[in-house]
Structure 1
Amino acid sequence: MTLPEAVTAVFLGLLEGATEFIPVSSTGHLLLAGHFLGFESSGKTFEVVIQLGAVLAIVIAYFAKLVWVFGSAPRDPAARRFIGAVLLAFLPAAVLGAALHDVIKTVLFETPRLIAIMLILGGIVLLLVDRLPLRPRYDEADRLPFGTALGIGLCQCLALVPGVSRSGSTIVGALLLGVSKRAAAEFSFFLSLPTMGGAVAFDLYKNRDVLSFDDVGLIAIGFAAAFLSGLLVVRGLLGFVSRRGYGVFGWWRIVVGTVALILLSLRF
């Protein structure tokens, strides 16, 4: 591992944590940044595994809530219902992601132009949904009906295409299903735990034969950077979207996608 590689790993880790929980597609940002920086990891494992840093940020930020949920589940129906809703929302992407893993990693992850287009299209959708006169019916992330949770989970399947955004697809789906802006973001946080944890575990298993010691060092650096930036974003995001909504992220996506398309057209 060289110093430039380590610096790149820090940058990509910070980028991952900063974009994982906002609806702009952390994977899309990582893949585009890696493409323009000339950074490649075995089987794209670095880009997937450093997401665990962001997962740890959620665990730390919501540690008390998680302890309460799992600690009270044996005696509290509401806690069991919340766990069931998150697992139900996780199921569709888990099944489809496992079935399409090879296509996603070998085709979609290697198509930066597609990623840029998805960023732009997703930004337009986010702007339109943010301006709809939606009337929320559900204000608490831990009290969503199973049908609503499943609908959010089906929307999450769209994020198997890099550039769509896992948080973006789940938040937009939740908003359209009557969830408030704050609760939509919070449910997306909790849904990220089984989704990202499962994706990392499956990816490590699939790429177990191509990992090297150098990969482990870079992943550790990226993991730490993703944790730090992810923790900052998680602690500030709910208040921000409650006041400002999601429009700014739609413009962010459009700008990044457009710049990426321009650079790609110049054969950067």
Structure 2
Amino acid sequence: MDYLQALLIAIIEGLTEYLPVSSTGHMIFLSSYFGIQNDDFVKLFQVSIQFGAILAVVVLYWRKFFDFSKFNFFIKLACAVIPALILGKLFDDKIEAVLGNPIPIAIVLILGGIVLLFIDNHFQNPTIIQEEDITIKKAVTIGFWQCLAMMPGTSRSAASIIGGMQQGLSRQAAAEFSFFLAVPTMLAVTCYSVFLKTYETSQMKGYELILKSDENIKIFLIGNIVAFIVAVLAIKFFIEIIKKYGFKPWGWYRIIVGSFLLIYFTYLK
């Protein structure tokens, strides 16, 4: 992976991590197009640059994350992330096996898009506007919804937002709680990928792959910085879009992109 490829992947991560369009799916398609998707460092890079996206949420909502008087907020996030931690560990190998096959990911993109076309009409009477009104039980339920995103192409953001709306949250409240929940979820995945996971081809830990060369270190740092900057802009953009138009534009986007990629990888590649 060269610097241009890393830059493009980081931009895609920053743009799509918090949008309901599947950042993993987009990065896999881009890596497949470049012919680098089977490289261990590329797999690590795609996960580790989520750290930059995590910082975007912490910076934008810093009052929330550094207000330690609101202990319930942290309890809710801790409870909500437990399902993803357990199921993610149990199904890690199966998830990685799917990552190398873009066809099912394209299909999931399309199916998820169809769901988003109708989601606004289905949940029209929210009862929860503020995060403070979300109970621990509802937070855990949203955490289970988030686990649907273990199938690449689903979108962690889409799954947790739909879960939030199903639990009575408004569009904005569901989106913001999805952002908050992403921080412990992606931090855990990133730490596991960098410090604990041994990659099959190289038989190296993630941090060993990063430290293997000066170029890998530079690519890792550049990727996280770019992902952070782009994610800050994407979060602000997304909130404004769902306030005005809801989720239908993202549904059409997923259907169009998924259909194009399905045709490309089935007939053209």
Alignment of 1:189-208 (within 5 A): 189-204=179-194, 205-207=196-198
Alignment of 1:182-221 (within 5 A): 182-204=172-194, 205-207=196-198, 209=204, 211=209, 212-213=212-213, 214-221=215-222
Write the distance in 2 (CA, Å) between the matches of 1:218 and 1:104.
25
1:75 is matched with none
Write the distance in 2 (CA, Å) between the matches of 1:30 and 1:111.
13
Alignment of 1:64-143 (within 5 A): 64-68=63-67, 70=68, 72=69, 79-105=70-96, 107-143=97-133
- Runs in 1 of length 4+ with deviation above 6 angstroms? none
Gaps of 5+ in 2: none
1:228 is matched with 229
* 1:242-265 superposed Cα distances (whole Å, 9 cap, x missing partner): 221111111111111101011111
Deviation, 1:196, is 0.2
Write the distance in 2 (CA, Å) between the matches of 1:88 and 1:65.
17
* 1:15-48 superposed Cα distances (whole Å, 9 cap, x missing partner): 1000000100101110111111222341611110
8 Å Cα contact 2:103/2:266 also seen in 1: no
Deviation, 1:133, is 4.9
* 1:80-127 superposed Cα distances (whole Å, 9 cap, x missing partner): 22211111111101100011112212x111111011011001111111
TM-score by length of 1: 0.91
2:5 is matched with 8
- 1:23 match: secondary structure: coil
RMSD of Structure 2 on Structure 1 (CA):
1.5
Is it true that 1:53 corresponds to 2:44 in the alignment?
no
- 2:186 match: secondary structure: helix
**Relative to structure 1, is the Cα distance of residues 142 and 215 closer, same or farther in structure 2, using a 3 angstrom cutoff?**
farther
Write the distance in 1 (CA, Å) between the matches of 2:216 and 2:133.
41
8 Å Cα contact 1:134/1:175 also seen in 2: no
1:76 is matched with none
1:19 is matched with 16
- 1:150 match: secondary structure: helix
- 1:266 match: secondary structure: helix
8 Å Cα contact 2:123/2:165 also seen in 1: no
Deviation, 1:267, is 4.4
Deviation, 1:215, is 3.3
Is it true that 1:42 corresponds to 2:40 in the alignment?
yes
